[in-house]
Structure 1
Amino acid sequence: MGFAADPLVLSQVSTRLRNAESDLDTAATPPPVPQAGDITELLSATLALLCEGVGNVAASAGGLGQAVAEGRADYETIDYDQVLHLKRTQAGG
């Protein structure tokens, strides 16, 4: 019993995660200071905290995208090596 991974699907997942990083990073830009009277400072601090959180999620998505890409490359290398080993074994070498 074994498992298989589709390199195309892994590439798509990696690309989507990297795109999410870019999209979220754009959304993490703090908006202009709101004009909210007495609560302006509180609202501004809350927005800054939310933007920081979105920035952290963006960085995580990018890191995951990179890890998936590296995993796909490792999987393809190992899979290829195993096929060569099997062919050599079947050929008696």
Structure 2
Amino acid sequence: MGVEAEPQVLEQVATTLRNAETDLDAGATAPPQPQAGDITELLSATLELLCEGIGNVAAGAGGLGQAVTEGRADYQTIDYDQALNLKRAHSGG
């Protein structure tokens, strides 16, 4: 029993993650300071913390996209090498 992956699907996953990073990064910019009276500072600090969290999620998505791309390349290399080994074994050489 083996594991099989479709390189095209892995590339789609990597692209989706990289696109998510870009989209999330765009939303991680802090909005202008709200005018909320007595709670302006609290609300501003909360928004800043949320934007920082979104930035961290974006970085994580980008890192995962890169890891999937690297994993796909490794998978294809190993798969190709194993196919060559099988061919050699079947041809006796």
TM-score in terms of structure 1 length: 0.98
Unpaired stretches in structure 1, ≥5 consecutive residues: none
Aligned length: 93
Quick one: which amino acid aligns to residue 6 of structure 2? Answer: D
Q: Residues 68-87 of structure 1 correspond to what in structure 2 (within 5 A)?
A: 68-87=68-87
Structure 1 equivalent of residue 29 of structure 2: 29
Q: 2: CA distance between counterparts of 1:6 and 1:12?
A: 10
Q: Structure 1 vs Structure 2: percent identity of aligned residues?
A: 76
2:42 aligned residue: 42
Q: Distance in 1 between matches of 2:28 and 2:9?
A: 28
**Residue of structure 2 equivalent to 1:11:** 11
- Alignment partners' CA distance in 2, 1:3 and 1:70: 17
For 2:53, the equivalent position in structure 1 comes to 53
Q: TM-score when scaled to structure 2?
A: 0.98
Structure 2, unaligned runs of 5 or more: none
- CA drift of 1:20 comes to 0.2
Offset at 1:3?
1.4
Give RMSD over aligned pairs.
0.4
